[in-house]
Amino acid sequence: MHLNHDPAATPAAEIDFDAFLAVDIRVGTIMSAEPFPEARKPAYKLLIDFGPGIGERKSSAQITENYEIEPLVGRQVAAVVNFPPRQIGKFMSQVLTLGFPDENGAVTLFAPDKAVPNGARLF
């Protein structure tokens, strides 16, 4: 699947509301972050706590251009939690951490502007 990161691109085709509801986007708190030197593109390995209903999940996130490791711990992020796990090298990424491209195309994390309970679902 190719994602279009061009902000001037035309919108995607219309979908119905049920298709949107099928994508389970939750908020979680980053519990740990570490370098992922084996990744083809620079990335970090994240462990994210999505609360008691989902628990902790791992994610490979290409966020190295805009984020240092230390400040990531304790930060809330949004992620798709119902995609199948994806093998990235020797690491199994269980969720897709969400972000938007900045003016240089580097990922800027998507998160609530105030703290919400881990596991809260986007609607």
Amino acid at 11: P
Whether residue 24 has pLDDT greater than 60: yes
Write the pLDDT tens digit of every residue in 33-88: 999 998 889 999 999 999 999 999 999 999 999 999 999 999 999 999 999 999 99
Whether this model's pTM surpasses 0.85:
yes
> What would the two tokens of residue 63 be?
């966020």
Per-residue model confidence (pLDDT) at position 3: 56
Write the pLDDT tens digit of every residue in 77-116: 999 999 999 999 889 999 999 999 999 999 999 999 999 9
Q: Which fold has domain 23-109?
A: OB fold (Dihydrolipoamide Acetyltransferase, E2P) (2.40.50)
Domain parsing of the chain, residue ranges: 23-109
